[in-house]
Structure 1
Amino acid sequence: MIFILLIYASIYLHKKLTINTLVIPIIGFATPLIIYFSYLFWFNQTQVFFDLFQFKINLSLNNLIEPNLIFFALIIALLTFIFMIYKSRTTLSINNTFKRSWILIILNLFVAFLFVLLLNQKTTGDLIYLFFPVAIIIANGVELIEKKIIKDSILYILFIGCFLARFVL
């Protein structure tokens, strides 16, 4: 439900505001719910459906990152933050379609982080929601670096860090 913010932000930013674009996401969200409720109703298990809507917010981040991956995750988070600021300075000053897409990528990062934060049972696999916006932000940030040796160094460090963090640490 929280990712519907991205759909409506995209509709607003790209100026495609019509009755169809406003109603279709709601229908698309409600249709599987109605089908699932019908299935559970048929088997007299409607309590399972109603339990889906009882939110238990757990703001603890203890189980989110494995201890051997904390250092690598902090480096990725730092690079994401630096490149987001660095790229946003140049992108937000120009009025084009990339500016709107960049705003959506940043919003996607914050919505995904909020989603992972609000999950009741957090695991390392839940970080996959953050991979897409983080990868795009880092790629756009690396693109702005003018010296090829610095670009290559950052990419090689990230590439080698992936294997070291997973298999050596």
Structure 2
Amino acid sequence: MITSIFSKSKPINFIVVFFIVLLAFLIARAELVNETITMGLVFNELGMFFVCLGSVLLLNFIVSKNSLTKYGNYEILLFSLFLLALPQSIGSTNILLANFFVLLAVRRIISLRSQLYVRKKLFDAAFWIAIASLFYFWALLFFILIPITLLLYTDNKIKHWIIPFVGVGAVFVIVVSISVVWNNSFFGVFKSLPELSYDFKNYNTLKYLLFITILFSFGLWSSLFYIKNLKQKKKAFRPSFIIVIVAAIIATAIIVLAPNKNGSEFLFLFAPSAIIITNYIETIEETWFKELFLAILFLVPFVLLFI
């Protein structure tokens, strides 16, 4: 039943995803918001919900525009289910915003496939990643995607390698200018050095262990087929698929490095994982196995809600 609904792009798919995202957001924010309800708080939470929903729609745009999957909407279903399985992933406003800007950057990076407006896209990608790093420092690791993409397209133009650093520099100049105006100092905005932690004790609960086990087991299994099938992709599209797997590796590194391991750091992994798992689902020929695979992914979030 699930496959028959999401195997093709339909309006009902977005309606289902909307309510899953809404449920995940309400659960996440209900745990965090203990303040007196005011209009300012309501508008702030509405803004964060639209950022969350916008991330889902942005993922759908990236996938459909660059043919990263076939014509279904499995990727946005999986993304929304990941949010519901771990509502803490949208508990941090800073990471929610950082992930949105990273997706904007990934959109520009993958669109380099067309080889049109290359300089503008490189600048935009670096600019958005730098903006993301202002909200969450380790999002800066996604900058690695830019030189990797240039290598994949064997781009030897020196100016194309310099432009991304100009994009980062532009953000730095803007931030320093704001710091001078508001804090009367050049580096007042940069309050502290980046932190990291290898303390994983927060994951030592049944809910986290189940979620991590399912996400990484399904993700790793799907990745094997994803990498195996890369050679079958059209040569022009192959770099886009490689970028997705590299993004997943970077997101995993962020989870390992995250100074506060409260679940929100997993958000960076959801989009690439959704694309990778979707590609595997589309290769499954047995209908019963595809239904079972999706049913597990669909039911797990609701089971975890009661743990």
Alpha-carbon spacing, 1:86–1:120, altered in 2? closer, same or farther (3 Å): same
| Partner deviation per Cα, 1:100-136 (whole Å, 9 max, x = no partner) | 2222111111111112322222321121100011111
Structure-to-structure mapping, 1:32-71, within 5 angstroms: 32-42=171-181, 43-46=183-186, 48-52=188-192, 54-63=193-202, 67-71=206-210
Give the secondary-structure state (helix, strand or coil) at the position aligned to 1:63: helix
Is residue 2:281 matched to residue 1:149? no
**Corresponding residue for residue 168 of structure 1:** 306
Distance in 1 (CA, whole Å) between partners of 2:185 and 2:170 is 19
**Corresponding residue for residue 89 of structure 1:** 228
| Partner deviation per Cα, 1:75-124 (whole Å, 9 max, x = no partner) | 12101101111221232476723432222111111111112322222321
Alpha-carbon spacing, 1:117–1:144, altered in 2? closer, same or farther (3 Å): same
Distance in 2 (CA, whole Å) between partners of 1:148 and 1:162 is 22
Q: Mean alpha-carbon deviation: is it higher for 108-117 or for 60-69?
A: 60-69
Give the secondary-structure state (helix, strand or coil) at the position aligned to 1:144: coil
Distance in 1 (CA, whole Å) between partners of 2:203 and 2:188 is 26
Alpha-carbon spacing, 1:122–1:37, altered in 2? closer, same or farther (3 Å): farther
Is residue 2:275 matched to residue 1:136? yes
Distance in 2 (CA, whole Å) between partners of 1:28 and 1:116 is 26
| Partner deviation per Cα, 1:2-35 (whole Å, 9 max, x = no partner) | 1110111112213344344322221211212221
Is residue 2:212 matched to residue 1:73? yes
1:127 to 259, 266, 272: 266
Q: Indicate conservation of the 8 Å contact 2:203/2:209, yes or no.
A: no
Give the secondary-structure state (helix, strand or coil) at the position aligned to 2:195: coil
- Counterpart of 1:25, as a letter, is P
| Partner deviation per Cα, 1:9-65 (whole Å, 9 max, x = no partner) | 11221334434432222121121222111222332344544544x233212223368
Q: Indicate conservation of the 8 Å contact 1:87/1:144, yes or no.
A: no
Q: Mean alpha-carbon deviation: is it higher for 131-140 or for 32-41?
A: 32-41
Distance in 2 (CA, whole Å) between partners of 1:154 and 1:48 is 50
Alpha-carbon spacing, 1:63–1:18, altered in 2? closer, same or farther (3 Å): farther
Aligned length: 167
Structure 1: runs of 5+ lacking an equivalent: none
**Corresponding residue for residue 5 of structure 1:** 144
Q: Indicate conservation of the 8 Å contact 1:64/1:126, yes or no.
A: no
CA RMSD across the alignment: 2.3
Q: What TM-score does the superposition give when structure 2 sets the normalisation length? A: 0.49
Distance in 1 (CA, whole Å) between partners of 2:257 and 2:301 is 27
Structure 2: runs of 5+ lacking an equivalent: 1-139
Distance in 2 (CA, whole Å) between partners of 1:32 and 1:70 is 38
Q: Equivalent pairs: percent with the same residue?
A: 23
Distance in 2 (CA, whole Å) between partners of 1:147 and 1:16 is 42
Distance in 1 (CA, whole Å) between partners of 2:155 and 2:146 is 11
Is residue 2:115 matched to residue 1:115? no
Distance in 2 (CA, whole Å) between partners of 1:136 and 1:93 is 17
Using CA pairs under 8 Å that are at least 6 residues apart, name the structure with larger relative contact order, 1 or 2.
1
Distance in 1 (CA, whole Å) between partners of 2:302 and 2:204 is 16
Q: What TM-score does the superposition give when structure 1 sets the normalisation length? A: 0.84
Distance in 1 (CA, whole Å) between partners of 2:151 and 2:233 is 18
- Counterpart of 2:265, as a letter, is D
